[in-house]
Amino acid sequence: MFDTGNTGFMLVATSLVMLMTPGLAFFYGGLVGRKNVLSIMIQSFVSMGWTTMLWWLVGYSLVFSGGQGGVIGNLDHVFLRGITPTDMLSANNNIPLLVFVAYQMMFAIITPALITGAFANRVRFTAYLIFLTLWLLFVYFPVAHMVWGGGLFATWGVLDFAGGTAVHTTAGFAALASVLFVGRRKIVDRGPHSIPLVALGTGLLWFGWYGFNAGSELRVDQITATAFLNTDIAASIAGLTWLFIAWTLEKKPKFVGLLTGSVAGLVAITPAAGYVNITGSIIIGVLAGGVCYLAVAFKNHMGLDDALDVWGVHGIGGVLGCIATGLFATTAWNPDGANGLFFGGTTFFLYETLSVVITAAYAFAFSYGALWLIDKFVKVKVTEAEELDGLDAALHGENAYEMI
């Protein structure tokens, strides 16, 4: 017999995580110039369609079927074969397995979409679709299996409540690789063309993140409430931290800085949300606002054209969140978790840190190699003339706004 309360909650959580991808499209769409709004937004929306197909085809099976202690699952559940409407998630969690399939699919959808902000205005749509496919098959599915599907990292005792390793670290370091491969834009945007659109995207992301984090408990209990509150606190504190650092150094309180800092806080609390206490979430928020601000400043100093700061926010924020989980997790707040370094868990901290370092290195190396290989068959980079015209018109034959 299914638990209708938990099932209803997880359907809502799944819907919230789905909403994050359109939210990301608005967030990125506002940050680019007027001539490239549609080209960046379609890269998020197309993931909703194509990743869904891959998840149904092989993704769910590769992540959650077999492969105990390994790096990838098996093909027992390709096409969702063998999964029926009456199957429960587990003996201890009596929600429909199909709800879990859908919930995890939403994670797979948004993860590669995060990368696109790094190479805004520079990559051909066909090349992106090929990269999206290869990246899911060889980066996201294996890492998600190792973390959540009973794979290698799980056997080490690594904890990732909602995706610091599998989502943000993979996407952030893939973004860094893509920036190094495609190089700088020839035609640089003057700045965000619509900060209100960025604010709308941030609001949708923040709202959806409650499903992302609190929903990862997969039921309604005290851990769900902890994850929900920790998520809001970390995002709020990180946004304020970024705002006041920027206000001090740049002499003006920037709205985009407040919004970006909030997203950094959401990223950093993601792996820790259900494992740390309120004090831990406050510390993570402060660290996220400060460290991610410095990462973006370092990127600018080095002249790296990570257009929308994916590496600085998601890559560094994801790594920071995983390490912070290894520091601040406590079984006093989640008996099913672990004690971090500050509570005597030295071994847990070391494995937590090692797993995120391996993930970052692998995501970077594979992503760079995949782009290099794709470029041998399909040109990855757009031409300078296409950049000048804007990718909306040059690649898609559409414009977001009437061009005067």
Domain assignment present for residue 404? The answer is no
pLDDT over 70 (residue 348): yes
Domain assignment present for residue 133? The answer is yes
Rounded average pLDDT over 231-246: 98
Domain assignment present for residue 318? The answer is yes
Rounded average pLDDT over 235-250: 97
Q: Using a pLDDT cut of 90, give the percent of the chain over it.
A: 97
Domain assignment present for residue 86? The answer is yes
The pLDDT of residue 187 is 85
The pLDDT of residue 190 is 79
Domain assignment present for residue 333? The answer is yes
Domain count, the chain: 1
Most distant CA pair in the chain, distance: 63
Q: What are phi and psi of 221, to 5 degrees?
A: -155, -165
d(C-alpha 215, C-alpha 223), whole Å: 10
The pLDDT of residue 91 is 86
Binning pLDDT at 50, 70 and 90, where does residue 191 land?
confident
Rounded average pLDDT over 313-318: 98
Binning pLDDT at 50, 70 and 90, where does residue 403 land?
low
d(C-alpha 149, C-alpha 141), whole Å: 10
Question: 187 or 374: whose pLDDT is higher?
Answer: 374
The pLDDT of residue 345 is 97
The pLDDT of residue 351 is 98
Check the CA dihedral 296-298-300-304 and report its sign: negative
Domain assignment present for residue 54? The answer is yes
Give the CATH number of the domain where residue 195 resides. Answer: 1.10.3430.10
The pLDDT of residue 32 is 95
The boundaries of the domain holding residue 171 are 4-396
| Tokens 């950093």 -> residue | 268
- Using alpha carbons, select from 178, 255, 259, 162 the residue that is nearest to residue 213: 162
Q: Which amino acid is at 259?
A: L
Beta bridge partners of 381: 123
pLDDT over 90 (residue 404): no
Domain assignment present for residue 116? The answer is yes
Binning pLDDT at 50, 70 and 90, where does residue 11 land?
very high
280 sits in which H/E element: helix 278-302
Binning pLDDT at 50, 70 and 90, where does residue 188 land?
confident
pLDDT over 70 (residue 299): yes
Domain assignment present for residue 403? The answer is no
Q: Using a pLDDT cut of 70, give the percent of the chain over it.
A: 100
- Using alpha carbons, select from 377, 240, 357, 308 the residue that is nearest to residue 37: 308
Q: Name which of 26-40, 132-146, 183-197, 265-279 the model is least confident about.
A: 183-197
Looking at every residue in the chain, the average pLDDT score rounds to 96
- Upper half-sphere CA count for residue 344 (Cβ side, 13 Å): 2
- Please write the tens of the pLDDT for every residue from 71-123: 999 999 999 999 999 999 998 899 999 999 999 999 999 999 999 999 999 99
d(C-alpha 384, C-alpha 389), whole Å: 9
